[in-house]
Amino acid sequence: MKQKTLFIVSAVVLLLAFVAAAVFYSGQKEEAARQLAETNRAALMRIHSPTMGNPDAPVIIVEFFDPACETCGAFYPRVKKLMAAHPDKIRLVLRYAPFHDGSDKVVAVLEAARKQGKFWPALEALFASQRDWAANHTAQVGKVWKHLDGLGLNMEQMAFDITAPEIDKLIAQDLEDARTLNVTMTPEYFVNGKPLPSFGFEQLTELVDQALAESTR
């Protein structure tokens, strides 16, 4: 009888120890997740990042992109349609990840256009003409300029602005943040801080729909 009682007591003690360990581990895991989320939050958005949409939108899509990336160019109009389907509910934040050869020079062109208030028209013009200036996954900045005609840009000022040293610092910051967030290819999306579970526009749409639903609770 004593042996049976001792066995029961031992089993209860072991169970309590297991529960305590599980609670402790869960707490540690939550704290680690919280700290990671804080780190990611700082790396996701910077004050210099180009943005589109309502600044107070409940859903924020952060995209790391390369102007020479074909998939980035193909997904861009689809993201715009997704935003249009939910007016004022989605904000797009762009981060640079110029992984292709020469893409950093094209980023400089975009930043120079931004100084004249023409970032988005310039981006759309370059995506539309990407096959001409980004053949074989190599950006040829010399072929970019002709595709900016008609946007009302001061080309002489552009030629000066692309040499601004702050552009290199901006790109370096974005690339450092990309490494922090384990971004190794483009486009890479985060929706309200959450990365896509797997790559694809359907997965992006599902994550956006989930974030929209959560924002109305």
The 3-state secondary structure of 150-203 reads CCCCCHHHHHHHCCCHHHHHHHHHHHHHHHHCCCCCCCEEEECCEECCCCCHHH
pLDDT at residue 15 in the model? 63
Exposure on the CB side of residue 140, measured as CA atoms within 13 A: 12
pLDDT along the chain (217 residues), means of 10: 61 60 50 54 91 97 98 97 97 98 97 98 98 92 96 97 96 97 97 95 97 91
Q: Which of 78, 92, 25 is nearest to 203 (CA)?
A: 78
The residues that bridge with 189 in the sheet, in sequence order, are: 63
Question: Which DSSP helix (H) or strand (E) runs through 24?
Answer: helix 2-44
How far apart are the C-alpha atoms of 116 and 49, rounded to whole Å? 16
pLDDT at residue 12 in the model? 60
Q: Who's near 41: CB < 8 A, 6+ residues apart?
A: 193
